[in-house]
Structure 1
């Protein structure tokens, strides 16, 4: 297998790196918060956890939109020539599926929330857009939302495993392109 040069000619831009790591942290936080809120949703104070999840989710949706727009207008260089074509293709597929799921996940949560009796909240006030609650519609979109969370877990796991492979096995500095600069 051909090796990738030890030095790579490009890095992701600072805005792309910042958005990547902020989104990574928020996605992990939101997945944990989502699973937690489902265990306490019918408990006293459970609604506050749901409101927090919705509020942070709206912020996350905005950051995902910014990341997608940044990516559309700032195409990265291809992977180094030494990366096997099947790995480059798999990386490309996983990245685009990540983008798709990161867009669909908040949309399904928002739609499910606005059709729920409680509505959608942003740090307090309900913003249900004047829609009449429809339980079946809300539950359907919450079902899609749950499927997308598990899809995201699989995709993020593949993404992280690929990153660690480049860092620890290949040692080809591909991982360094998205890691914040030191010093």
Structure 2
């Protein structure tokens, strides 16, 4: 596991792709839950939500495995130990939610006896109905959605605090190459092991 000064290109792409997908899916899910939609429209939109969710689960697995294998870059110089610990907890919670959200949604659907068709490309077959498992999946999906909204807000607020108040390179190293993250170390190799 590497502890380089900044995030490499692959890590940055992974971060922004999964961020866009998860934030978009949160908004989509809230619209499905609270928007007053006609029944037939709602069904079509739920099918799209499920399809994107399965793809998000696949990409999320890649994202989490990449982060586990590559590790996180070292904290910026001067960051208090408690902030470094809080950052680790928040990052692991975000990574867990990237898997938990789509997985719980798929479980809820399958164990209600409903197949999950993914854009007509392939279908995950329905399972025998298991009411408690479907309810558990549904409950986790709902709770994790609200938890993820809170985590995303905290994550963005913390990044802005580092950028505006602390004036450290925490945000810059996720936005661009190591050359923008001056002052966090002499290593100009991203945590992907790719020269930037």
When normalised by structure 2's length, the TM-score is 0.80
| Alignment length (residue pairs) | 174
1:78 alignment partner in structure 2 = 74
**Structure 1: which 5+ residue stretches go unaligned?**
1-8
Greater Cα shift, 103-112 or 128-137: 128-137
Contact 1:119-1:126 at 8 Å conserved across structures:
no
**Structure 2: which 5+ residue stretches go unaligned?**
181-196
Classify the secondary structure of the residue corresponding to 1:127: strand
Contact 1:115-1:128 at 8 Å conserved across structures:
no
When normalised by structure 1's length, the TM-score is 0.86
Picking from 10, 19, 22, the partner of 2:14 is 19
> Cα RMSD (Å) of the superposition?
2.1
1:67 alignment partner in structure 2 = 63
1:46 alignment partner in structure 2 = 42
Q: How many angstroms does 1:80 deviate by?
A: 2.1
Deviations along 1:115-143, whole A, 9 cap, x unmatched?
12433221147835341234553233111
Written as runs of structure 1 = structure 2, the 5 A alignment for 1:1-183 is 10-38=5-33, 39=35, 43-124=39-120, 127-181=123-177
For 2:128 and 2:99, locate their aligned partners in 1 and report how far apart those are by CA, in whole Å. 25
For 1:124 and 1:148, locate their aligned partners in 2 and report how far apart those are by CA, in whole Å. 27
Classify the secondary structure of the residue corresponding to 2:61: helix
1:5 alignment partner in structure 2 = none
- Asked which structure has the greater RCO (Cα within 8 Å, sep 6+), the reply is 2
CA, structure 1 residues 77+137, in 2 after alignment: closer, same or farther (shift >3 Å)? closer
